[in-house]
Amino acid sequence: MRLSTLVIAATLVPLAACRPPAPEATTEPAPLTATAPAVRDIHSFAEPHLVKVRHLALELEMDFAARTLTGTATLQLDWQDPAADALLLDTRDLTILRAEAGEANDHWRELPFELAEPDQTLGSRLTIRTGGQPALVRIAYRTSPAASGLQWLTPAMTLGGQQPFMFSQSQQIHARSWVPLQDTPMVRFTYEARLRTPPQVMALMSADNDPAAVRDGDYTFRMPQPIPSYLLAIAAGDLVFAPIDARSGVWAEPALVQQAAAEFVDTGRMIAAAERLYGPYRWDRYDILVLPPSFPYGGMENPRLTFATPTVIVGDRSLVALIAHELAHSWSGNLVTFATANDAWLNEGFTTYVEGRLIEALYGRERADLDRVIERNELRREFTAENLALQPLAIAQEALPDPDDNLTATVYTKGAWFLQFLEQRCGRERFDAFLRDYFEHFAFQSISTAQFRDYARLHLLGQDPARVSEAEFDAWLYQPGVPDTAPQVISSRLAAVDAAREAWQAGTELPEPAVTAAWSTQEWVHFLDGLPQALDPGRLAALDAAYQFSGTPNGEIAQRWYPLTVRSGYTAARPALAEFLGRVGRRKLVMPIYKALAATPDGLAFAREVFAKARPALHPITVGSIEAALAATQAPAAVPATPPESANGG
Binding residues (CB under 6 A) for ligand BES: these are: 171-172, 297-301, 321-322, 325-326, 329, 348, 404, 407, 412, 588, 650
Residue 234: its H or E element: strand 234-237
Give the binding-site size for Zn ion (rule: CB under 5 A): 2
In the complex, the smallest distance separating the C-beta of residue 299 from ligand BES, rounded to whole angstroms, is 5
Strands 305-308 and 218-228: unpaired
Residue 31 burial (10 A CB sphere; 0-12, 13-18, 19+): exposed
Per partner kind, with CB cut-offs from 5 to 8 A, the member of Zn ion, ligand BES, none near residue 300 is ligand BES
Residue 591's closest CA among 632, 536, 551, 550? 632
In the complex, the smallest distance separating the C-beta of residue 614 from Zn ion, rounded to whole angstroms, is 26
CA contacts within 13 A on the Cβ side of 154: 5
Q: Which of 230, 353, 412, 478 is catalytic?
A: 412
β-pair partners for 404: none
Nearer residue to ligand BES within complex by CB, 416 or 468: 416
In the complex, the smallest distance separating the C-beta of residue 347 from Zn ion, rounded to whole angstroms, is 6
Per partner kind, with CB cut-offs from 5 to 8 A, the member of Zn ion, ligand BES, none near residue 373 is none
Per partner kind, with CB cut-offs from 5 to 8 A, the member of Zn ion, ligand BES, none near residue 239 is none
Nearer residue to ligand BES within complex by CB, 342 or 600: 342
Q: What are the start-end ranges of the H helices in 181-285?
A: 254-263, 267-278
Q: Which residues are within 8 A (CB) of 512 and not within 5 positions of it... i.e. 6 or more apart?
A: none
Nearer residue to Zn ion within complex by CB, 209 or 306: 306
Annotated active-site residue 412? The verdict is yes
Per partner kind, with CB cut-offs from 5 to 8 A, the member of Zn ion, ligand BES, none near residue 248 is none
Nearer residue to Zn ion within complex by CB, 88 or 395: 395
Q: Which residue is nearest to ligand BES, using beta carbons? A: 298
Nearer residue to Zn ion within complex by CB, 425 or 619: 619
Strands 248-252 and 286-290: parallel
Per partner kind, with CB cut-offs from 5 to 8 A, the member of Zn ion, ligand BES, none near residue 322 is ligand BES
3-class DSSP state for residue 508? Answer: coil
β-pair partners for 74: 57, 138
What is the Cα 438 distance to its own chain's centre? 22
Per residue, what are the HEC states of 18-82?
A: HCCCCCCCCCCCCCCCCCCCCCCCCCCCCCCCCEEEEEEEEEEEEECCCCEEEEEEEEEEEECCC
Name which of residues 333 to 372 contact Zn ion (CB under 5 A): 348, 351
In the complex, the smallest distance separating the C-beta of residue 561 from Zn ion, rounded to whole angstroms, is 25
Annotated active-site residue 114? The verdict is no
In the complex, the smallest distance separating the C-beta of residue 327 from Zn ion, rounded to whole angstroms, is 10
CA distance 545 to 539: 10
Name which of residues 544 to 603 contact Zn ion (CB under 5 A): none
Residue 236's closest CA among 283, 200, 187? 200
Residue 567 burial (10 A CB sphere; 0-12, 13-18, 19+): buried
> DSSP labels for 124-166?
EEEEEE-SS--SEEEEEEE--TT-TTEEEE-GGGSSSSSS-EE
Per partner kind, with CB cut-offs from 5 to 8 A, the member of Zn ion, ligand BES, none near residue 529 is none
Site string for Zn ion, 298-337 (x = CB under 5 A): ----------------------------------------
Nearer residue to ligand BES within complex by CB, 87 or 300: 300
In the complex, the smallest distance separating the C-beta of residue 619 from ligand BES, rounded to whole angstroms, is 12
Q: Which of 100, 253, 301, 326 is catalytic?
A: 326
351, 329 contact by CB (below 8 A): yes
Name the residues annotated as catalytic: 326, 412
Query: What is the contact surface with Zn ion in residues (CB under 5 A)?
Result: 348, 351
